[in-house]
Structure 1
Amino acid sequence: MDHQRPELDLLAVAARWADPAGWPVSLCFDPVERWYARLAADADHEVWALSWLPGQGTDLHDHGGSSGGFRVVAGALTEEVVTGGRLRPRLLVTGSGRRFGPRHVHVVTNRGDVPAVSVHVYRPALTRMTRYHLVDGRLRVAEVAEAGRSW
């Protein structure tokens, strides 16, 4: 008999953390850089809150082999993934979200004119992230960031 734990739905976990009133930290908006805070962690996964003022976003990056999911809890975010050697955008509005596997590479940006807030869940917890440049349709490693030093 198989006693393995059933697969955790990371997007469902993000939905459970969608209300900032229940967070252990106060939501902040930083005019200089994206604000983020870890909300919860256990041996299986971790949960992060992020805020995005208009124009704030990430570099092209992966999650160091972790799977994930994120949910937009306020505003809207644009996620871009590499398809056919080009970045392809997808708009994610309040209440929508995205699951992704351990090899997912993307850029997330607030292209709107109002602040956005999102909740991200990673399994296992993030230990590193690789940032990339897209050159002639190919991903080129720009930097490998490590938890505890880079964030």
Structure 2
Amino acid sequence: MTADLQTVPPAQPTPRTPAALRALVTELAERPQEWIHRVRLSVDERWYEQLSLTEDHEVWLISWLPGQSTGFHDHGGSRGAFTVALGELEELSLGGTDGALHTRRLPTGAARSFGPDFLHDVRNTGAGPAVTIHAYSPPLDEMARYELRASGLRLTGREGREQW
């Protein structure tokens, strides 16, 4: 008699917590000698470069010129965090029981972390460039884009990793 063998999928790594991701980006921002030489500025769109990718997280470096923004987006179910390493940004999000629009000023040193269901729009409304460091866990596979309307957010599309 033979035993039935079942294929067991490999275990997925446990995602890092938003607090752990926040600590990661904050600590990296305090070591500019490890990333400052990689920063580029682009007038066409935000510039970004992946700094690391592991099974359980990834880290990105992003530069922002005045007027550049992400638009409202989610993170495809990943947890995340980012810190403003240089400059100043603004973050828009919907929240509270009334779903009101919240605006946060994020100066150099500010850090934000969030869970897998968070949506926001990050933008450079200042006079000079800004640089941020972002971490996501698990690594991003997909992001959804949204348009802000009087009635709330409306899904406008999805992007996969191959589009970054």
Q: What TM-score does the superposition give when structure 2 sets the normalisation length?
A: 0.83
Confirm or deny that 1:81 pairs with 2:78: no
- The answer to whether the Cα contact below 8 Å between 1:20 and 1:27 also exists between their aligned partners in 2 is no
In structure 2, stretches of 5+ residues that fail to align are 1-12
Q: Which amino acid in the other structure matches residue 48 of structure 2?
A: Y
- The answer to whether the Cα contact below 8 Å between 1:20 and 1:26 also exists between their aligned partners in 2 is no
In structure 1, stretches of 5+ residues that fail to align are none
Please give the alpha-carbon distance, in whole angstroms, between the structure 2 residues aligned to 1:69 and 1:6.
13
- The answer to whether the Cα contact below 8 Å between 2:15 and 2:56 also exists between their aligned partners in 1 is no
Aligned-residue offset at 1:87: 2.6
Q: Which has the higher helix share?
A: 2
Secondary structure at the residue paired with 1:17?
A: helix
Please give the alpha-carbon distance, in whole angstroms, between the structure 1 residues aligned to 2:15 and 2:68.
36
In the other structure, the counterpart of 1:44 is: 56
In the other structure, the counterpart of 1:23 is: 35
Cα 1:57–1:6, aligned 2, differ >3 Å: closer, same or farther?
A: closer
Indicate which of 112, 116, 139 corresponds to 2:130: 116
Aligned-residue offset at 1:16: 2.4
Identity percentage of aligned residues = 43
Q: Which amino acid in the other structure matches residue 51 of structure 2?
A: L
Please give the alpha-carbon distance, in whole angstroms, between the structure 1 residues aligned to 2:44 and 2:77.
29
Aligned-residue offset at 1:23: 2.8
Rg larger for: 2
Cα 1:5–1:44, aligned 2, differ >3 Å: closer, same or farther?
A: closer
CA RMSD of aligned residues (A): 2.0
Aligned-residue offset at 1:48: 0.3
- The answer to whether the Cα contact below 8 Å between 1:71 and 1:120 also exists between their aligned partners in 2 is yes
Aligned-residue offset at 1:66: 0.3
Cα 1:7–1:35, aligned 2, differ >3 Å: closer, same or farther?
A: closer
Q: Which has the higher strand share?
A: 1
Aligned length: 147
Q: Which amino acid in the other structure matches residue 149 of structure 2?
A: V
Confirm or deny that 1:61 pairs with 2:73: yes
In the other structure, the counterpart of 2:47 is: 35
Q: Which amino acid in the other structure matches residue 39 of structure 1?
A: L
Cα 1:126–1:24, aligned 2, differ >3 Å: closer, same or farther?
A: farther
Aligned-residue offset at 1:6: 9.6
Aligned-residue offset at 1:91: 0.5
Q: Which segments of structure 1 move beyond 6 Å, counting only runs of 4 or more?
A: none
Indicate which of 101, 114, 134 corresponds to 1:100: 114
